[in-house]
């Protein structure tokens, strides 16, 4: 009997169908973020750091410096990740010899990405870039008191939505256009209300041109605080939760954008009762929004469990948001994305019926015994089978492949 067949039989003893879990997992796309590949630098013809309170630290060799290098790294990474996934692109990652300012970007500046995505058979998601620009140096963009600055960013946001819609059209798969602005105050502001009113009015203007939801979906991302905006973030959770519900956009829950002890998984079912769809930025905050690569830890597992137990996989877009420049960037992508998939697989292998029955009967002892005893089941064998069926390596082969690729790009 193969290792997998033995594992399959053990799960079957609990009434779990490993084949069903494997088949379901294959069809869950993860939107991998382009910015892990180059430390959130982008390809605009200028220098400068990401700003906006986000920061990649480290100087590991091999950072992608051009769109071609980034695509080569992505090609490799997708080959190591079982299943078919998406790429989450930021507007600062344009691929063109032209030098459009943010309020001048057009679809043509991103067309090479779409050609590549078509060839790879992957979908694209998109983000306007409201940071790393002189007009964001005040840490205020859409909520800036200066109408000229606000209008500049509204134009950028509208153009991003057009680009996202065209991407969705070209690829036959709706492109999520996620809006995150760094706006906030280092010290206690006098007029939070005015700032929030300005942000709301700018968002309204930005989102007013009608777009086909079959082609692009608007999402808004809240945040607790960032470096340099410790006292007040204009686009807080409450702000965007209300906005998303009123406007029918997706709400983006970034796991690093809440108080460190908050349980983000708990928010899913609560938000989902008032929203059609949710976007996740799966991340790992350490003391702050540090964007560490995700581990297969309790937080990630709790998130995956909620997606499955609350039946939210069909209306949650799973995106990743981490960037670590102290380790191989391709290894970060591959291991991080696979960790999300491993968590989903474990969630899909839960004895849900038994757990639900116990909970409904207030039999918390059975619920407790089941969850804990279940942790000993051979998940690794099911994961290895999933990888094998999807031509993705595991174990020492995976490690060797990751090391060999890293060696091939270290001289950059």
Ligand X SMILES: C[C@H](O)[C@H](O)[C@@H](O)C(=O)CO
* Active-site residue, 259 included: no
Minimum distance from residue 227 beta carbon to Mn ion (Å) = 15
Which among 76-84, 248-256, 293-301, 352-360 is the span making contact with Mn ion, rule CB under 5 A? 248-256
CA distance 238 to 229: 17
Applying CB under 5 A, does 321 fall inside the site for Mn ion? yes
* Active-site residue, 276 included: no
Which of Mn ion, ligand X, none does 289 bind, CB closer than 5 to 8 A by kind? ligand X
Q: Which of 298, 395, 292, 278 is nearest to 346 (CA)?
A: 298
Applying CB under 6 A, does 324 fall inside the site for ligand X? no
The 3-state DSSP class for residue 72 equals helix
Nearer to ligand X, 35 or 152 (CB): 35
Q: Which position has the token pair 């102290």? A: 326
Nearer to Mn ion, 217 or 358 (CB): 217
Minimum distance from residue 276 beta carbon to Mn ion (Å) = 20
> 140: number of CA atoms within 13 Å, CB side?
22
Residue 291 assigned ligand-binding role? yes
Residue 289 assigned ligand-binding role? yes
Q: Find the binder of ligand X among 54, 229, 308, 377 (CB under 6 A).
A: 54
Which of Mn ion, ligand X, none does 329 bind, CB closer than 5 to 8 A by kind? none
**Residues 328-367 within binding reach of ligand X (CB under 6 A):** none
The residues that bridge with 185 in the sheet, in sequence order, are 232
**Residues 270-289 within binding reach of Mn ion (CB under 5 A):** 281
DSSP E strand boundaries for 172-247 = 175-179, 184-185, 216-221, 232-233
Give the single-character DSSP code of 145. S
Applying CB under 5 A, does 44 fall inside the site for Mn ion? no
Applying CB under 6 A, does 222 fall inside the site for ligand X? no
Chain centre distance of CA 266: 18
Is the Cα torsion angle 174, 33, 129, 44 positive or negative in sign?
negative
Q: Which of 275, 276, 347 is nearest to 309 (CA)?
A: 347
- Kindly give the residue spans of alpha helices, DSSP state H, lying in 111-249: 111-120, 147-171, 192-207, 237-247
Which of ligand X, Mn ion, none does 38 bind, CB closer than 5 to 8 A by kind? none
CA distance 252 to 277: 9
* Active-site residue, 289 included: yes
SS (H, E, C) 360-380: HCCCHHHHHHHHHHHCCCCHH
Applying CB under 6 A, does 40 fall inside the site for ligand X? yes
Which of Mn ion, ligand X, none does 54 bind, CB closer than 5 to 8 A by kind? ligand X
DSSP E strand boundaries for 211-249 = 216-221, 232-233
Which of ligand X, Mn ion, none does 127 bind, CB closer than 5 to 8 A by kind? ligand X
Q: Find the binder of ligand X among 144, 196, 281, 329 (CB under 6 A).
A: 281
Of 33, 133, 135, 223, which is the active-site residue?
Answer: 223
Applying CB under 6 A, does 289 fall inside the site for ligand X? yes
Q: Residue 339, class by beta-carbon neighbours within 10 Å (0-12 exposed, 13-18 middle, 19+ buried)?
A: buried
Applying CB under 5 A, does 254 fall inside the site for Mn ion? yes
* Residue 26, token pair as written in the block: 């294959």
* Active-site residue, 191 included: no
Applying CB under 6 A, does 166 fall inside the site for ligand X? no
Which of ligand X, Mn ion, none does 35 bind, CB closer than 5 to 8 A by kind? ligand X
* Active-site residue, 221 included: yes
Residue 257 assigned ligand-binding role? yes
The 3-state DSSP class for residue 49 equals coil
H/E segment holding residue 67: helix 67-80
Of 44, 125, 183, 289, which is the active-site residue?
Answer: 289
Nearer to ligand X, 195 or 219 (CB): 219
Provide Rg for the chain, Cα atoms: 22
Q: Which of 82, 71, 165 is nearest to 120 (CA)?
A: 71
Query: By the criterion CB under 6 A, which residues form the site for ligand X?
Result: 35, 40, 54, 90, 127, 180, 221, 223, 254, 281, 289, 321
Contacts to Mn ion by CB under 5 A: 254, 281, 321
Active-site residues, by number, are 180, 221, 223, 254, 257, 281, 289, 291, 321
Q: Which residues carry a binding-site annotation for Mn(2+)?
A: 257, 289, 291
């Amino acid at each position: 009997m193969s290792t997998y067949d033995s594992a399959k039989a053990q799960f079957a003893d609990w009434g779990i169908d490993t084949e069903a879990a494997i088949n379901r997992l294959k069809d869950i796309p993860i939107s991998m973020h382009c910015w892990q590949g180059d430390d959130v630098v982008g390809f605009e013809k200028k220098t400068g750091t990401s700003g906006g309170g986000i920061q990649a630290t480290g100087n590991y060799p091999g950072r992608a410096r051009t769109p071609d290098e980034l695509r080569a790294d992505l090609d490799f990474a997708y080959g190591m990740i079982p299943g078919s996934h998406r790429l989450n692109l930021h507007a600062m990652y344009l691929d063109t010899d032209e030098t459009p300012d943010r309020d001048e970007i057009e679809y043509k500046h991103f067309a090479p990405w779409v050609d590549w995505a078509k060839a790879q058979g992957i979908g694209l998601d998109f983000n306007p870039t409201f940071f790393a620009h002189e007009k964001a140096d005040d840490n205020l963009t859409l909520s800036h008191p200066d109408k000229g600055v606000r209008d500049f960013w509204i134009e950028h946001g509208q153009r991003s939505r057009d680009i996202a819609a065209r991407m969705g059209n070209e690829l036959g798969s709706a492109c999520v256009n996620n809006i995150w602005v760094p706006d906030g105050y280092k010290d206690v502001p006098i007029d939070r209300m005015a700032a929030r009113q300005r942000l709301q009015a700018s968002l309204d203007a930005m989102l007013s041109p009608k777009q086909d939801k079959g082609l692009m979906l608007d999402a808004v991302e809240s945040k607790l605080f960032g470096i340099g905006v410790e006292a007040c973030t204009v686009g807080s959770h409450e702000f965007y939760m209300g906005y998303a519900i009123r406007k029918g956009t997706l709400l983006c829950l970034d796991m690093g954008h809440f108080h460190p002890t908050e349980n983000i998984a708990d928010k899913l079912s609560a938000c989902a009762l008032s929203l059609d769809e949710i976007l996740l930025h799966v991340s790992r905050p350490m003391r702050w929004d540090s964007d560490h690569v995700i581990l297969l830890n309790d937080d990630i597992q709790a998130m995956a469990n909620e997606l499955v137990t609350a039946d939210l996989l069909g209306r949650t877009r799973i995106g990743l948001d981490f960037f670590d420049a102290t380790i191989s960037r391709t290894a970060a992508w591959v291991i991080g994305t696979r960790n999300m998939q491993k968590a989903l697989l474990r969630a899909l292998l839960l004895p849900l019926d038994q757990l639900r029955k116990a909970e409904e009967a207030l039999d918390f002892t059975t619920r407790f015994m089941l969850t804990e005893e279940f942790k000993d089941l051979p998940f690794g064998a099911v994961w290895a089978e999933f990888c094998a069926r999807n031509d993705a390596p595991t174990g020492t082969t995976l490690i060797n492949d990751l090391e060999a690729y890293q060696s091939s790009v270290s001289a950059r």
